[in-house]
Structures are given as C-alpha cells and as structure tokens.
Amino acid sequence: MSYTEEIYDRVVAQNPGEPEFHQAVKEVLDSLKLVIDANEEKYRSVSLLERLVEPERIISFKVPWVDDNGKVQVNKGYRVQFNSAIGPYKGGLRFHPSVNQSILKFLGFEQIFKNSLTGLPIGGGKGGSNFDPKGKSDREVMAFCQSFMTELSKYIGADEDVPAGDIGVGGREIGYMYGQYKRLTGKYEGVLTGKGLNWGGSLVRTQATGYGLVYILDAMLKDHDISIADKTVVVSGSGNVAIYATEKVQQLGGKVVAMSDSNGYIYDANGINLDVVKDIKEIRRGRIKEYADEVPGAVYTEGKGIWSIKCDIALPCATQNELNLDDAKTLKANGCIAVAEGANMPTTREATDFLLAEGMKFLPGKASNAGGVGTSALEMCQNSMRRSWSFEEVDEMLQRMMNDIYAKISDAASRYGVEGNYVVGANIAGFEKVADAMMAQGTAL
C-alpha cells in the first residue's frame, strides 16, 4: 500500500462520520501521489502526512443568544486551526445550518494549500456556526455575532488567527464581530478581514474572490489562445463570489446568462442585468426568483438544473458538491470548454475526473478562488502598516497574484508530467511550500 493510501485509510478510521473531510483529503492525497512517491523516504521518516492531515487545534463551543421573542437560542460554534507552518491561521467563518465539524475540517484542510498558493505568509484555518442568518432581524444577527465572538476572541489575534467571511458572513456580520472583539480586548487590530472601508477594510476585498476567479480563468484561456470576450457563461449562486465573478466576466466582454440561489435559477438570454441582482441580493436580501418578476424575458425555474443551460464556460460559485457527474456530462454535451470553481469543492470528485478525462479546462477552487484570501492578506498588510492602498493598487496586486498562481499550478503540472491538469498542479504547488516549512520547523507541528 502506498504512503498516501495508508494515510487516507488512517483518516477515515480516525475521523468517523466526516465524509466531506474524507473527500477533501482523498482528493489532495491522490493528486500528491506523484510528489510523495518521488520523495517517500524523506516524508515518511518525519511522518509528514500524518501531521498534515491532523488539525493543530479544533475549538468547539456553545453560542447562546436571545431572539426577538425573548427566547434563548443555542447554536454550535467552531474554529479549526489547521496548519500554521507558513503564517497565522487564516480562513473564513461560515454561518449556515449545514455547518458541522466535517465541513469545517474539509474547508480548513483545503485552505492550507490555497493560502500557500497565494505566495503570502498565511496558514490554514476555518470556522463558523450552524446559525442561519436568513430570516433573522439585524438585532438577532448582532446578538448572535456578539455571543459567538465572546468565546472566539480567546483564540484569535492579528498574529495568531485572522478569520474572514464566508457563506452567511458578510460585512454586517464582520462588523458586529469586530465591534465585540474590540470591546472585549481593547485592541484595534487587524484580527478580522472583510472589514468596512472606513474602519480598516481593504478596497477590492468585496470583489476579490469573484474578480480573482475571472482573472485566473482569463490567464488560463489566454494560455490556450482563447478569449473570454463573447463567451456565454453560467454562474451558479448569487452571493458575493457569484456577483463579482459576473461583474468581471461582463467587463471582459463575456455574457452571463444564468445565476441561482438555493431555491432555483434564472435564465436571461439577453445577459444578466447585474444591477437588479445586486439590488435583490445585496440591498433587499431577497430571492433570485424576484429577478424574473422585474426583468422582461427572464425565466425562473425552481430547483437545481442550472447546469442544463448551454454555455461555453461554467463558474460554480455557490457551495460544495453542487456540480455532479450528470451535470458535467450535460455541460460537455452542450459544448462547454471550461469550468472554473468559485466556490470551495463545488464539483464532485466523479465530475472532476470526467471533466479532466474529457480534456475540458478545469480550474480547482483552491487556486481559482484564492483571490479572496489573498486580498484578505493584503488587508492584513495594510492594517499592520496603518495604511490604505487605492483600488487600482490592490486590483493590480490581485491580478498579479492570480497570474502567478496560474503560472505556479501550470508549472507544477508540467514538472510532474501531467500538463494541463491544474488539480494536480494546484495541490502539488500548494503542498511543496507547506511541506518544506514543516520540515524546517522540526516536529513542532
């Protein structure tokens, strides 16, 4: 049995009931096989993989809060501090009813390699709660955020662990949590990223994941002499990543014809009117079906099925495992040439394998959505320097970062003889830096 297979079996045995974590570990280990096999003795001798798959620390806590009816509610809170070999833990907080330890461990594990790919000094972590902000009043969200931060504040800090937003955690939630952190610690420091612009936030952070996704997509397509201009694009989700991916595609001349939320999807043959989507989602916190009520000619369909819409490029930007094997086959049959992941692990393993086997261009999330965390690290930089860079400065750094990531993953894939396989390329390029840092720091982590 190979070292990577041994470690996968160990992870399954020692982490029962955590399918998402198993899935993420398997995907990474399978694609690291080439580099691990080539250096097996070196890594085995220091139990590198055993250490890599074990989080440094998991904090799990109770979050009691009072709802608008005066009733005490209780949620679960977590922070997974996975790996600090190359910098303080960094990764988002997710508030969604589906959140559990398995999902946060999968996200924290992936985050290690993603953060490494950015070229910036940030380790991997992730956290969140099974709290659902949907349908809650602002006061309820604030009460929850304050209680959550009261406990979390004991474990984070600008040089220890710097959380950010993720699903269900946007500017409003970051604001409530930052206020509470400051009140508890008396420190005005860059402990959270995604802050408001007039209290320590960075320009471009809001747009960063979506813009970054399209920058790296553009870099990959250009490398194959293809232009985004005039391409038809389908974007799933209508949250932060989806909205700004759509905006950048439109700026580069592409046409986004569909978007979705967890209830259904809209199709607009004329191209999505993003102002309407922003108004529904960013201002009114409404449902995507309202788009069809407001835009003549647009059609709303309840349920999944967005990948049945014919497109050249698919950008899954909603959630994990939202694009399965049947969807992948439909995309291929409809002439789609590229899939780039805006969300984390939105494509199932079977679907990814199919897309790669069919020779479709596929960018994995840990490379293609790294612009968000990369820009968060730029926010940390500005906070430490007590400075604010202009939109153009940060945008240029983001673009350079995404071009560099494409170069790194493309180079790693070629070095190991799997040219064009950016899944393998991203895992290897992300892993090499972390592995070197762990080896250099002895058995401390």
Q: Is 161 helix (H, G, I), strand (E, B) or coil?
A: strand
Among 69-77, 311-319, 400-408, 424-432, which window interacts with ligand NDP (CB under 6 A)?
Answer: 311-319
Q: According to the binding rule CB under 6 A, does residue 232 interact with ligand NDP?
A: no
Retrieve residue 37's tokens: 């096999």
Q: According to the binding rule CB under 6 A, does residue 344 interact with ligand NDP?
A: yes
3-state secondary structure 169-226: ECHHHHHHHHHHHHHHHCCCCCCCCCCCHHHCCCCCHHHHHHHHHHHHHHHHHHHCCC
In the bound state, the residue with its beta carbon closest to ligand NDP is 239
Q: Which of 29, 235, 318, 428 binds ligand NDP (CB under 6 A)?
A: 318
Cα–Cα distance between 147 and 436 in angstroms, integer?
A: 39
162 contacts 192 by C-beta, under 8 angstroms: yes
Q: According to the binding rule CB under 6 A, does residue 238 interact with ligand NDP?
A: yes
Q: According to the binding rule CB under 6 A, does residue 192 interact with ligand NDP?
A: no
* Single-letter amino acid, residue 108: G
Q: Which of 115, 369, 383, 421 binds ligand NDP (CB under 6 A)?
A: 369
Among 32-40, 70-78, 181-189, 339-347, which window interacts with ligand NDP (CB under 6 A)?
Answer: 339-347
Nearer to ligand NDP, 322 or 379 (CB): 322
Cα–Cα distance between 34 and 38 in angstroms, integer?
A: 6
User: What strand order describes the sheet that includes 123-129?
Assistant: 57-66, 72-83, 123-129, 89-95, 161-164
| Residue from 91, 127, 113 nearest 29 by CA | 113
Q: Which of 166, 173, 247, 379 binds ligand NDP (CB under 6 A)?
A: 166
Cα–Cα distance between 147 and 73 in angstroms, integer?
A: 11
Retrieve residue 335's tokens: 């002439």
Query: Among the options 90, 114, 126, 433, which is catalytic?
Result: 126
| Residue from 368, 348, 355, 349 nearest 410 by CA | 368
Q: Which residue has the tokens 């990369």?
A: 374
Q: Is 126 a catalytic residue?
A: yes
Among 47-55, 83-91, 271-279, 316-324, which window interacts with ligand NDP (CB under 6 A)?
Answer: 316-324
* Single-letter amino acid, residue 192: L
Q: According to the binding rule CB under 6 A, does residue 372 interact with ligand NDP?
A: yes
Among 36-44, 260-268, 394-402, 424-432, which window interacts with ligand NDP (CB under 6 A)?
Answer: 260-268
Q: Which of 319, 348, 410, 427 binds ligand NDP (CB under 6 A)?
A: 319
Q: Which of 55, 125, 200, 237 binds ligand NDP (CB under 6 A)?
A: 237
Cα–Cα distance between 435 and 43 in angstroms, integer?
A: 9
Nearer to ligand NDP, 4 or 115 (CB): 115
Nearer to ligand NDP, 4 or 246 (CB): 246
Nearer to ligand NDP, 239 or 364 (CB): 239
Q: According to the binding rule CB under 6 A, does residue 261 interact with ligand NDP?
A: yes
Q: Which of 167, 177, 214, 428 binds ligand NDP (CB under 6 A)?
A: 167
Q: Report the interface residues with ligand NDP, using CB under 6 A.
A: 165-168, 209, 237-242, 261-263, 317-319, 322, 342-344, 369, 372
Active-site residue set: 126
